[in-house]
Amino acid sequence: MTHETPLILPSLLAADWSRIGAEVGRAESAGARWLHLDVMDGAFVDNISFGPQMVRTVRGLTGMYLDVHLMIHRADHYLERFLQAGADNITIHAEARYETSVAETLRRIRAAGRHCGLALHPDTPFEAALPFIAEIDLLLVMTVVPGFGGQPFMEKETMPKLAQARDHRAAHGLSYHLEVDGGIYAHTAPVAKAHGANLFVCGTSFFGPADAGAAMAELAGSVA
């Protein structure tokens, strides 16, 4: 898949965890190819979600590509657990604390044969990604403040940065995906696409409706 291919990623954070197997199956049946898993530690963000055991559980339920977003401090300390759990891509935050460094953590992900991503908080400028930009497979531009689902899309604060990342990629012959996460609906996804996004993380907009197939069709159609 190239960085020009649009893809809808259901976000497990918005699923009904009391029936996780059915929810994963609902996403797969709706046509999802990637599944987004938000890991929160209660320190880097003001919420706690789940850890490597949930990733391992989901890995046992599906062959979908697992896009694991570590909203945690010390991602390097916990990295091996997420690799062993079956993550296909691991995205870490530029703003988090590390026992080693962002660069070393990205290197370890790639050395394990997985894809690696870097995430930027809405307040973090694109320039923070530049030291690592040639080494990543994915740049995640958060379009809400990370930590909770259901927040409104921060267009003015984040779209210029997304366009900057797109233009830098083109100018330097790079091929990283551009992912957006937060407030992504059928009316906001096209805005993000126009600024360069090709991966659209959809939580409430996908798992909220009873008909996941219809939700996927509407979301995918908005960025086709």
Catalytic residues: 38, 181
Angstrom CA distances, 185 to 33, 109, 213, stand at 18, 31, 15
Query: Which 3 state secondary structure label does DSSP give 81?
Result: helix
Among candidate residues 107, 224, 154, the one with its CA nearest the CA of residue 92: 107
Among candidate residues 181, 173, 95, the one with its CA nearest the CA of residue 140: 181
Among candidate residues 218, 28, 1, the one with its CA nearest the CA of residue 89: 1
Query: Which 3 state secondary structure label does DSSP give 17?
Result: helix
Which amino acid appears at position 169 of this protein?
Answer: R
**Residues forming beta bridges with residue 180, ordered by sequence position:** 141, 200
